[in-house]
Amino acid sequence: MVRAHHAHHSFQPGALVKYISPSLLALAAFAAAPSAQALSVKDDDVKLGLSIVIQARAEISDATTTAGVDYSTADGSAYVDDIDFYLRRARFGLKGSFKNDYTFALIMRADGAGKANATQAMNFYEATIGRKFKTEGSELAHAIEFGYMAPTFNTANAVHSSSGFLLVNEASTSFVMSNRNAGIKYHLSAPWVNFYADIMNNSGDDATNAGEGAAVADKSGEGLWTSARVHISPEGEWKMDKPTESWAGKEGKGVLVGLDVAQNSKDNSSGTESTDMMGYGIDVVVHFDGLSFLAEYRVADTETKTSAATTADFTAEAWRVQAGYAFPMGDTFLEPAVRISAYDANDKVTSTSPFGTNDSGASGDQIELGLNWYLHEHKNKLQLAYTMWEAESGNADASIVRAQWQLSF
């Protein structure tokens, strides 16, 4: 069960000023440049647009293990962490359509460039082709995508990370269950409702392992990821076409409820065990002019087999609640925000693990305070966040300051 704790580690923000202040001043000076404009070209058949997301980040942490030893959240080593600079996101590619009804996307990424242990190698983030069509005489619209992509499951994949009002985009709820692989996606759009269904490879779709027994595994075939998600939003002034964390100060109202379920069967990626997972989730997004609010809960049941006769079952769960309010400041908007979250990777184990190297910590409780400066909405913004995390049990904790400049179009 996820439990609440009170932070106890002493953190001195003043010690970070000499590191963070020059970085923020430099970011602010450059970010005041004119708004980025998406480049697109088209002829009678093809429409082509350029897509770029760059998130340049500075980060420094004050963290310890459960034994009280200094710990670096940059690379997971036991030493004092100095300031680190890296690219949280570095993605570019093309999106477009052919004869209006056929769609395609080809996006490359080198996320984490400059971070400890990052390969900095380019790889595919998304490569899809699709077809969209409408039902004659009705308000129904359909779309099919085929290729390499993420399933529309949980807010980590249903909400674009560039629209977040806290710069820590990898929320703990994404740890419970997620995937990115080759497969097929179906989307049905109707009044009040958007429905998505995915069938994809899982991470170990062609592996054999001791978990099923070699002879059984050779005959049992591939595992698959299957998931379904529905977005419900009322017609009228509260209608939202898709979930977006922050409207960056735009006026208007909106509410959207997301419900989803996923199964990840016979995931044999470890080579020594076979894993079956079933996950569920619910999330709610609300906007009222400058106010943005999101609440989410996720749970996943996992069964692992480490031999033909040995199985282990456990449950992971996570939740988060976050809110922000954008105030006008000249032609820009300033938005303070807060997020409270908790994550339990295994209900059968009481974790004392340190923070880790992800954006959000390992099993434990986390509070994040943020300030966003929208120079040109989400296309060009500066973000500052302070994260406080405490392990589920023991003395491991972390305090992290992150500053980020995003350009996205």
pLDDT greater than 70 at residue 271: no
**Contact in structure between 35 and 379 (CB atoms under 8 Å):** yes
pLDDT digits (tens, 9 = 90+) for 325-383: 999 999 999 999 999 999 999 999 999 999 998 888 999 999 999 999 999 998 999 99
Of the listed ranges 37-51, 272-286, 353-367, 395-409, the least confidently predicted one is 37-51
pLDDT greater than 70 at residue 308: no
State mean pLDDT over 3-26.
Answer: 44
Indicate the pLDDT class of residue 213, thresholds 50, 70 and 90.
Answer: low
The pLDDT value recorded for residue 13 is: 44
Written as one string, the DSSP assignment of 344-398 is: ES-TTS-------SSSS-SSEEEEEEEEEEEEETBTEEEEEEEEEEEESSSS-EE
The pLDDT value recorded for residue 206 is: 57
Of the listed ranges 209-223, 232-246, 295-309, 320-334, the least confidently predicted one is 209-223
pLDDT greater than 50 at residue 235: yes
As a whole number of angstroms, the distance between CA 182 and CA 40 comes to 27
As a whole number of angstroms, the distance between CA 386 and CA 2 comes to 22
Q: What is the mean pLDDT of the chain?
A: 84
Written as one string, the DSSP assignment of 230-294 is: EEE--SSTT--SS--S--TT---EEEEEEEEEEEEEEE-TTSS-EEEEEEEEEEEEEEETTEEEE
Which residues have CB under 8 Å from 161's CB, separation 6+? 89, 169, 170
pLDDT greater than 60 at residue 32: no
The pLDDT value recorded for residue 5 is: 43
What's the pTM? 0.84
The pLDDT value recorded for residue 36 is: 42
- The alpha-helical segments, DSSP class H, found in 16-113 are 17-31
- Residue closest to 255 by CA, chosen among 278, 237, 277: 237
3-class SS of residue 161: helix
Q: What residue ranges define each of the domains in the chain, with the CATH number in brackets?
A: 13-408 (2.40.160.10)
**Contact in structure between 240 and 256 (CB atoms under 8 Å):** yes
Which residues have CB under 8 Å from 51's CB, separation 6+? 38, 91, 92, 93, 94, 95, 105, 107, 409
How far separated are the first and last CA of the chain, in Å rounded?
40
The pLDDT value recorded for residue 29 is: 43
CA angle, 380 as apex, 374 and 383 as ends, to 5°?
A: 55
The pLDDT value recorded for residue 370 is: 94
As a whole number of angstroms, the distance between CA 84 and CA 19 comes to 10
92 vs 28, more confident = 92
403 vs 40, more confident = 403
As a whole number of angstroms, the distance between CA 213 and CA 230 comes to 38
The pLDDT value recorded for residue 26 is: 44
**Contact in structure between 63 and 407 (CB atoms under 8 Å):** no
The pLDDT value recorded for residue 221 is: 54
Tokens for 376? 């040109």
pLDDT digits (tens, 9 = 90+) for 155-193: 877 777 777 767 665 666 777 888 889 999 999 999 999
pLDDT greater than 50 at residue 98: yes
- The alpha-helical segments, DSSP class H, found in 148-212 are 154-158, 173-176
